[in-house]
Homo-oligomer: A and B are copies of this chain.
Amino acid sequence: MATATLDFWFEFSSTYSYPATMRIDAVAAQAGVAVRLRPFLLGPIFQAQGWGTSPFNLYPAKGRYMWRDLERICADLALPFRRPAVFPQSGLLAARVALAGLQRPSGQAAWVEDFCRAVYRVQFAEGHRIDQPETILDILSELKVNAEQIVAEAHTTEIKDRLRAQTAEAQRLNIFGSPTFITSDAEMFWGNDRLENAFAWAKRTS
């Protein structure tokens, strides 16, 4: 029997994607399901439905609740949390870097998963700005990879086009938020609180 696969679609500026990213590996290992990382941009999807920013900013009561809910979730998971001064922060560069590491001719670079976790951690626990190139360079440097070279790669037309295509694919799949999990039989699960359901489904249908 082939190993089941789950596509994990995520936007780096997304709040609930922080706990999801931090715990997905453990849940995947437990379920025996492989995860395919699919970074994308929510901005164009929000814009297509008339939103100029995050719904958590457009609807303040919902935003206030989300921050408190996220704080509780992180406390339950013993994840550090500090509300960022600026929200949302563009995840464009982070997504391009992640794609550059994911889609190598030789396969996925070893540093990609650590990079993704670090982007969420510095943003939602350490008060750094992921929309500033220095932050992304610092993260890569700490991972002992050639940070300048990877960021240069992230700025190539090829990677920019790939991220555009991946975001267009997310839109075609009717993805409207992050995190979103899609099984190989096209079942969609949205939200950190559906992570376990997504893996249970992926396992059942493998």
Contacts and interface: CB of A to CB of B under 8 A. Distances in A.
Contact of A174 (B64, B193, B197): B64
A68 interface: yes
A72 B190 CA distance: 13
A174 B72 contact: no
Interface string A169-190: 0000011110000000000111
Contacts of A72: 197
A46 B159 CA distance: 41
Contacts of A59: 49, 176
The quantity of this chain's copies bound in the complex is 2
A65 B193 contact: no
Contact of A188 (B65, B176, B197): B65
Contacts of A62: 176-177
Contact of A176 (B65, B189, B193, B194): B65
B65 A174 contact: yes
Given A68-B188, A193-B193, A176 B49 contact: no
Interface in A58-106: 59, 61-62, 64-65, 68-69, 72
A176 B61 CA distance: 7
Interface in A17-75: 49, 59, 61-62, 64-65, 68-69, 72
Contacts of A194: 69
Given A69-B190, A188-B68, A61 B174 contact: yes
Given A68-B188, A69-B190, A197-B72, A175 B61 contact: yes
A180 to B, nearest CB: 9
A177 B66 CA distance: 12
A69 B176 CA distance: 14
19 contacts: A49-B59, A49-B61, A59-B176, A61-B174, A61-B175, A61-B176, A62-B176, A62-B177, A64-B174, A65-B174, A65-B176, A65-B188, A65-B190, A68-B188, A69-B189, A69-B190, A69-B194, A72-B197, A193-B193
